[in-house]
Amino acid sequence: MVGAGGQGGGSAATTGEHGSGGGSGSYAEWTGTVSPSTAYYYTAGAAGSGGAAGANGGAGANTIFTVGATIITAYGGSGGIVGNSATVPRLGGAGGIIATNGTLNLTGHPGFAGVMSATVGHSGMGGASMLGPGGQEVLFGNTAGNQPSGYGGGGSGGASTGTAEAGGSGAQGCVIIDEYS
């Protein structure tokens, strides 16, 4: 299972102020024995979104799987940071903190900083998750960030040549259940 990815940071309405990428969600695997009557519940984290043009990206939500008394949590990634300087890059959103109570617990990957420049440059790429890559960076231009192609990946930042843009939404979390008898 994987937590949801964070949205990429937006770009400001100034040329060269590109947003950073959102972080990916953390990852967990759990192996256990359960009886046929054991109840289980899950919530797949909502994708990071909601950050407007020229704003920081929204954080991804946690993915939770509960079986009996065990609660496994894969945490969502942080949103990227809005680009507000044509010379100083903004760090990407943090990856989700280490997952808890799984048999295997991993952190998410951070988003990448954009390359700031008033003549060239690009936004930051979103952090990759264990289930796919983050959103591809956006080359110089007035363009909103890209969405990732795998569950739990972070969105890329927006790019600006004078118009504020939003970062790409992160990807939702995911729970995969394999049952063996």
Give the DSSP per-residue string, 109-122: PPPPPPB--SSS-B
The better pLDDT of the pair 84, 175 is held by: 175
- Residue 20: give the domain boundaries: 1-31+38-181
Are the CB atoms for 94 and 59 separated by under 8 Å? no
Task: Please give the pLDDT value at position 14.
Answer: 85
Name the nearest CA neighbour of 158 among 6, 5, 8. 8
Task: Please give the pLDDT value at position 176.
Answer: 95
Backbone angles phi, psi at 85, to 5 degrees: -155, 140
In the predicted structure, residue 37 carries a pLDDT above the cut 80: yes
How much is the average pLDDT of 72-82? 97
User: Could you give the CA distance from residue 136 to residue 112 in angstroms, rounded to a whole number?
Assistant: 10
Across the chain, how many H-helices and E-strands are there?
A: 0, 5
Categorize the per-residue pLDDT at 86 as very low, low, confident or very high, splitting at 50, 70 and 90. Answer: low
User: Could you give the CA distance from residue 44 to residue 55 in angstroms, rounded to a whole number?
Assistant: 25
Cβ partners under 8 Å of residue 159, min gap 6: 11, 18, 19, 114, 121, 122, 123, 138, 139, 140, 141, 142, 143, 145, 165
Q: How many domains does the chain contain in total?
A: 1
